[in-house]
Each structure stands twice: as C-alpha cells, then as structure tokens.
C-alpha cells in the first residue's frame, strides 16, 4: 500500500511577498516539492508597452519595494545600451553609490530581521531583540544609514525619484553628502562587527553542488556592468543571457523554471554566487573579515549566505565612504537621443542577477519589455535545495520539517513581490 | 501581558511590499513599537501569527483576483479599524492600468500559458470592496504618517494627516516652481501632500504618487501643460501612473483621451 505524507507551509513568513510550500512524500521518499507563489500577477511587461522611455525607471521601481533601485538600474542600462548612450564616470560612480545604499538596506534587513531569528529559533527580529538588543539595534542602524543614502541621492528610500535614463535629475550638493560621512564611518566598523556576529551562528552542514551565476567585472565588485559569469568558468555578455539561460515549463508543475539551456541545470544567483565569483574584488576589509571568521571559498552552504551578505554590507559601506569623501558635483546626466533600437542589461540586485530587455521605437516608446528577476531564476534551485535537505529531516514531526524547510527557503532571501514574470502565480482550480 | 496590548495586523494584496516595508523602515521607532503593540499578523516580519479579531489592520495592495476579493471580506470582518496603506490599496495602484486595457491580451503578453492565470479584469481599491476607516496615501506611504496612525491607535484617537496639495509644501521648502520657472509639467498643484515635495526639489515635476488632493483643478492645470508644449498623449500618460484609477485622475485622463478623439476602452 502506498503511504503518503503531505507537509504544507500555508504562508511563508519573513520573505518579501506571498508564497507557500508544498511537500508531497510517498513511501518515505520525496515525490514533489513546490515553492508556491500566490502573489497576484501585475503585468508590468504588458503595461510598459507604449510608455515613453522616460517613464520606465519610475514604473519598474514599483515591481519591488525592497529593491526598487535594482529595477531602475537594469532599466536605464538596458535603454542606454539600446540607444548607444555612454554615461560619464561621475554618473557611473553615483549609480554605484545608489546601489551601495540599496545593498546595505536590503541586506541589513534580511540579516537582522528576516534571517537571524532562524538561528535562534525566534519568530521575528523583534523577538530576537529581547535577548540580543545591541545586535538588533546595530542592525537597524546599519539599515537606516543605507536608507539615508537613498534619501539623499535618490530623493527617498522606497521608490527613489532621482533616477532617469542618462543619469540623474539632480546631483546632490557636496554638503548633502558630507553629512552622511560620520554615519558611514560608524557603519563600516559596525558592519564588520555584524558580520563577525553572523559568523558565530550554528550553521547546519549542507553543501549543494551549486552552479553560481553573477555579473563580474575585471576591476571592481560588479554591480552595474560586467560579464555574466558562471562558476563553470564560462562568461557571456549580457546580450547572450537569453540564449544561455531559459525559463522552462517543468513537467510536474506550472512554474517557469530557470535553467541553462544546454545542460538543463538550475543555477543560483545572489550574494553567495557573487562572493564566490568575485571574492578578490571585495573591499580588502571584507576579505580580511572573511579570512578571520573562517569563510572559505568555495562556500556552498546556503545557510552561510548571511555571512556573504555581511561581507557585501562591509564592501558597500567601504566603497560608499570613498565615493562620499571624494565627491564633487558634476553634470548629472548626458543627453540620450531617441531612435528605434533594442538593448538589454544585467545588473546585480541585492538578491542577484536582474536582466531587462527593451525594444524602443523612434519616438522613444517601449514596444517590448522583458524582465527576469533574481528570485524567478532561483526558484528551481530553491526547490532542488529542499529535495536535498528533506531526507535528513523526514524522521522529525511535520511541524519541524516545515520549519526547517522554511529556513532553507529563507537562506535565499526570495523576493516574491518581484512577480512580474512568475508563471506560478495562481493555479486555476478545477 | 501581551494580551493587554492592542493587536496590529498587516495584510498584503497585489503590491510591491514597499508600504509595509515602511514599518520596518522606522528603524528608530521599531523596537518601541514592538513593545507597545502586539504584532499579531505581519508575515513579512514575523512567523508568529495570531487569529483575529485585530484592533487595527493595515492593508497594502489592490484587489486583482477572485480569491483576494473573498479574502478582503475576511480581513474586514476580523478588524475593528481598517487602514489602507498606499496607492495600490487606495486607488488600485500601477496595476490598475489594466483597467484601461484589454485584460486577456495583457495576460498573454506576460505569461506563456495564460490558462493558469486566475486574475480579475480590473485592479481595484480596497474601498471598492469593504468599508475603510482610514487611508494613507502614497506610492510609497510616508513612514511618519504611518507612525501617526499607530500613535493615534495607542492614544485612542483618530489619526490626522494633511490633505492640502504638494504645491504648498514646495512653497514651505522654498523650492522654485518648476512649472512657472521652467515650464515643466508638475502635478504638484493637484496632488495630495505627504511625500515632502521631493520631486521639484530634485529638478523634476511631481508625478502624483499621493493621488489627487481635495478639489483638484485638473482641467485648468492640463490646459497650461498643453500651452507649455506637453503632448496630449504624455499628459494622459502622466495621469496614468500609480494613482491612475483614483477618480479625479481617471476622469481627467479620460477627458483628455476623449478630446484626443480616441475611444476610451475603459472597463465599466
């Protein structure tokens, strides 16, 4: 007789957006694992069509309240690539600075309020603050300074208003930035301490055989530009993304699963992928911290992604501080002439590679848009993690299995709100 | 002990998460808030979930699926004071652009297998479905206005937020008017205060994140935009952003569209 067991997480907590988890077992073996997304579809790619390219950065920001800058960055780079526009080194620096602010606020949020509670068996960051008030206060302050940088450079932290195709609407004045420097000096040191703290957490032994994919750059820790690189050693320009990777309909479900076209293998994007692929371009301070806490490469333990996030927060504080200290305002934008063209770009959102492609007409209106967010690329990889994780915990009661599976999902900081391109949004009921 | 604290719940519908993130962005106040209210349902922040009834429910997002149309009724029934937070909840959000378009075509443009998508033809505000006790505008909301809602809850009074236009805030900030001085289209005169008048301070026109202010004179403003050289199409698109389906913005964009001679393909 067939013995079946179903484990359900109705609603995942401490992730952005709404999703659930369904695990089906048959005779003690894993039959199916589904990361279920019930985020309603919002159709961004459809309503971008016909809009002026000037509206695109404001509109795509609304895909995600946690990483709006990432959507703005991939959009402006893709449109500028289409139109052959070249921004100045000054604008390029400001864009990195803006990304530093977003990486800081997003990573500090995940590390302290979303992920850390798992290692202490707590329900939330607020609960963790009862036993670890100093660590949580430090984390909140780290997050706050990231948001303050977004406030000054972006106009506001959530859905910044200062980004445009060709650069920025206005370059902040030197004294607006100078005020941030003392907080960023504190933050660099605090980020080191936060990362050292995270490195002391009890990490389960779990090392899936990941193929990491991230944008890399020969001279810097890649954010806005570079080659799409795999841990297999291969690298491709952004415009080959769609020929190398595809979102495939899996036979067991209705989800689009991102895999490599040639091998059919799912891959992992995000901080763990970036740190593994670009470690030598991290700030020297971050590299020292990694060495001193025993963070060895390659690191394939997704629970240790919290350390990778910490290293990136250190890097972001360090790089932001250098840009802030040497800041002198220059013209905030370059002219971008309109013509019929097509272009794409991949940048590194806090959660990993974010690909955009746009086709524009000669009036500067969008004819076609394609957006591939990091979480939809990681979805199959997360399910694959769960399949590998489950056999070791199946002897536990359902609630324990469910809780540890939630932890496995949260390692990857999934952002379900980035739902523009998810197929498994709702399954029509018969 | 926690039983005595007012119960706060946060619910999400179709949205980007940004407005509920505003609560976690109250970095200086968050731990204190956590001591004064019982966070009974807030999936983005905690695995701890309590059943209703709730004293205050913050509702983010718009209604876009049959399931959510049902769920908002349950949220209403479980909540004493229901506050909608953000443009999605108060006006349908950016996803309400589908209300002006052919929904089936929208679905097939994004999803390869449209038969799996269960989605309504419209994105509508929470108030179109249930009684709403208070609304916080914005895309995103202003976190200080959110704190005002929580303070009011703790003090047992009704929250207060200003409803004058962004225009007045520019005068207070000392920002030179981008429309008068440079002829840029700016929705500041017809948009509700709350953002801090940031866009004109960054050398661009307001794009209406907080939706229409009280008694907005949209027709007169758009007459001026057209004089300043804005195309009718761009004027329509300027209203069709995050508060596109707020009644005053919607009516003006449809009026402009009718003037342009195009047929307004709007769902009733």
Element (H, E) at A344: strand A341-349
Residue B239: the pLDDT is 98
The C-alpha of A428 sits at a distance from chain B's nearest C-alpha, in angstroms, of 5
Residue B266 in domain: no
Given a cut of 80, whether residue A59 has pLDDT beyond it is yes
For residue B180, is it within any domain? yes
CA distance A347 to B25: 25
Does the beta-carbon distance from A428 to B116 stay under 8 Å? yes
Give the domain extent around A87.
45-405
The H or E element containing residue B21 is helix B18-24
* Banded pLDDT at A386 (limits 50, 70, 90): very high
Q: Residue A414 has what pLDDT?
A: 87
Q: Which residues of B touch A161 (CB under 8 A)?
A: 198-199, 202, 204, 207
Q: Are residues B212 and B144 in the same domain?
A: no
Residue B176 lies in a domain: yes
Q: Minimum mean pLDDT among A28-37, A399-408, B157-166: which range?
A: A28-37
Say if residue B57 is in the same domain as residue B7. yes
Q: What is the pLDDT of residues B63-119, one digit of tens each?
A: 999 999 999 999 999 999 999 999 999 999 999 998 998 766 666 666 655 555 577
Closest CA to A98 of A273, A298, A347: A347
State how far the alpha carbon of A257 is from the alpha carbons of A19, A265, A413, B229, in Å: 16, 10, 17, 47
- In sequence order, the 6+-apart residues with CB closer than 8 A to the CB of B244 are B91, B92, B94, B96, B97, B99, B100, B250, B253
| Chains A, B: CB pairs < 8 Å | 202
- Does A427 score more than 60 pLDDT? no
Residue B131 lies in a domain: yes
Nearest one of A361, A408, A357, A414 to A385, comparing CA atoms? A408
CA distance B55 to chain A (A): 20
Strand partners for A30: A25
Question: Is A4 part of any domain?
Answer: no
Residues B172 and B141 in one domain: no
Please give the pLDDT value at position B102: 72
Q: Which of B155, B181, B197 is the last residue of a domain?
A: B155
pLDDT at site A287: 98
Flag if B18 and A426 touch (Cβ within 8 Å).
no
Residues 194-213 of A with CB under 8 A from B: none
Residue B268: predicted pLDDT: 35
Pair B74, B98 in one domain: yes
B102 plus B20 within the same structural domain: yes
Say whether pLDDT at B209 is over 90. Answer: yes
Percent of chain A with pLDDT over 90: 82
* pTM for the full predicted model: 0.95
Q: Do A46 and B101 touch (CB under 8 A)?
A: yes
Q: Do B207 and A58 touch (CB under 8 A)?
A: yes
Distance from chain centroid for Cα A254: 24
pLDDT at res. A207: 97
Give residue A252's pLDDT.
46
CATH number at residue B116: 3.40.50.700
A331 touches chain B (CB under 8 A): no
Percent of chain A beyond pLDDT 70?
Answer: 95
| Owning domain of residue B197 | 166-260
Cβ atoms of A4 and A30 closer than 8 Å: no
Would you say residue A67 lies in a domain? yes
Task: Tell me, yes or no, whether A428 lies in a domain.
Answer: no
Radius of gyration of chain B (CA): 20
Q: Is residue A2 part of a domain?
A: no
Q: Select the residue from A17, A43, A429 to test the B interface by mutation, using most B Cβ atoms within 10 A.
A: A43
Question: Which residue is closest to B234 within chain A, CA to CA?
Answer: A52
Q: What is the DSSP string of B51-72?
A: -S-EEEEEEESBB-SHHHHHHH
**How many CB atoms neighbour CB A252 within 10 A?**
12
- Residue A363 and residue A50: Cα distance in Å, rounded? 10
Question: Same domain, yes or no, for B138 and B170?
Answer: no
Confidence of residue B261 (pLDDT cuts 50, 70, 90): confident
Q: Is residue A19 part of a domain?
A: no
Contact A254 B22 (CB under 8 A): no
- Please report whether residue A384 resides in a domain: yes
Residues B223 and B92 in one domain: no
DSSP A276-310: HHHGGGS-HHHHHHHHHTT-PSS---GGGHHHHHH
Write the CATH number for A211.
1.10.645.10
Is the pLDDT higher at A290 or at B103?
A290
Compare CB distances from A66 to B17, B107, B195 and report the shortest one's residue: B17
pLDDT recorded at residue A105: 98
Domain count of the fold of chain A: 1
**Residue A28 sits at the chain B interface (C-beta within 8 Å):** no
**Minimal Cβ distance to A423: which of B47, B68, B116:** B116
Q: Does residue A8 have a pLDDT over 70?
A: yes
* ipTM of predicted assembly, 2 dp: 0.94
């Amino acid at each position: 007789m067939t013995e079946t067991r179903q484990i359900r997480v109705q609603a995942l907590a401490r992730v952005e957006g709404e999703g659930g988890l369904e695990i089906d077992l048959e005779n003690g073996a894993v039959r199916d694992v589904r990361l279920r997304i019930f985020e309603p579809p919002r159709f961004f790619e459809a309503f971008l069509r016909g809009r002026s390219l000037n509206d695109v950065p404001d509109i795509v920001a609304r895909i995600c309240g946690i990483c709006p800058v990432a959507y703005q960055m991939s959009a402006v780079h893709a449109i500028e690539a289409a139109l052959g526009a070249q921004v100045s080194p000054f604008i390029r620096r400001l864009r990195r600075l803006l990304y530093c602010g977003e990486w800081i606020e997003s990573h500090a949020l995940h590390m302290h309020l979303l992920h850390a509670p798992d290692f202490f068996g707590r329900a939330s960051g607020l609960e963790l603050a009862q036993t670890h008030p100093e660590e949580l206060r430090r984390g909140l302050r780290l997050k706050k300074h990231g948001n303050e940088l977004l406030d000054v450079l972006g106009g506001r932290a959530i859905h910044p208003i200062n980004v445009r195709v060709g650069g920025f609407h206005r370059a902040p004045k030197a004294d607006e930035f100078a005020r941030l420097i003392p907080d960023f000096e504190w933050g660099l040191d605090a980020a080191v301490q936060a990362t050292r703290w995270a490195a002391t957490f009890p990490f389960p032994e779990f090392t899936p055989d990941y193929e990491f994919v991230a944008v890399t750059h020969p001279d810097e820790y890649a954010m806005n530009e570079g080659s799409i690189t795999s841990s297999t050693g291969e690298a491709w320009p952004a415009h080959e993304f769609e020929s190398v990777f595809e979102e495939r309909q899996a036979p067991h479900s209705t989800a689009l699963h991102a895999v490599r076209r040639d091998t059919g293998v799912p891959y992992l994007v995000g901080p763990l992928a970036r740190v593994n692929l670009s470690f030598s371009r991290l700030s020297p301070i971050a590299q020292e911290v990694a060495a001193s806490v025993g963070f060895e490469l390659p690191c394939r333990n997704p629970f240790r992604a919290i350390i990778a996030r910490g290293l990136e927060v250190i890097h972001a504080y360090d790089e932001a501080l250098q840009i802030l200290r040497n800041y002198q305002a220059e013209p905030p934008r370059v002219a971008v002439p309109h013509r019929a063209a097509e272009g794409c770009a991949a940048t590194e959102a806090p959660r990993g590679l974010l690909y955009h492609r746009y086709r524009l007409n000669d009036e500067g209106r969008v004819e076609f848009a394609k957006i591939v967010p990091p979480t939809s690329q990681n979805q199959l990889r997360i399910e694959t993690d769960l399949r590998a994780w489950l056999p070791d915990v199946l002897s536990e009661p359902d609630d324990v299995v469910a809780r540890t599976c939630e932890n496995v999902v949260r390692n990857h900081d999934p952002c379900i709100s980035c739902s523009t391109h998810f197929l498994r949004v709702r399954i029509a009921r018969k | 002990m926690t039983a005595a604290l007012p119960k706060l719940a946060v619910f999400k519908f179709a949205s980007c998460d940004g407005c509920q993130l505003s609560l976690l962005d109250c970095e200086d106040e968050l731990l204190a808030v956590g001591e004064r209210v019982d966070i009974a349902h807030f999936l983005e922040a905690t695995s701890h979930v309590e059943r209703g009834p709730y004293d205050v429910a913050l509702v983010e997002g718009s209604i876009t699926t049959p399931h959510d149309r049902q769920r908002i009724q349950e949220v209403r029934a479980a909540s004493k004071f229901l506050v909608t937070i953000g443009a999605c909840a108060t006006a349908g959000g950016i996803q309400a652009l589908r209300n002006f378009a052919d929904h089936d075509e929208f679905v097939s443009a994004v999803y390869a297998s449209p038969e799996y998508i269960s989605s309504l033809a419209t994105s509508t505000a929470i108030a179109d479905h249930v009684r709403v006790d208070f609304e916080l505008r914005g895309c995103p909301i202003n976190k200080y206005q959110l704190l005002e809602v929580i303070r009011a809850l703790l003090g047992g009074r009704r929250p207060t937020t200003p409803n004058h236009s962004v225009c007045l805030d520019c005068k207070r900030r000392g920002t030179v008017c981008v429309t008068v001085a440079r002829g840029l289209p700016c929705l500041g005169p017809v948009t509700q205060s709350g953002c801090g008048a940031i866009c004109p301070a960054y050398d661009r026109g307001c794009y209406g994140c907080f939706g229409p202010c009280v008694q907005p004179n949209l027709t007169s403003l758009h007459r001026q935009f057209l004089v300043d050289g804005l195309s009718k199409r761009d004027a329509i698109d300027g209203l069709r952003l995050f508060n596109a389906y707020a009644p005053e913005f919607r009516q003006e964009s449809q009026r402009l569209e009718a003037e342009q001679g195009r047929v307004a393909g709007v769902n009733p």
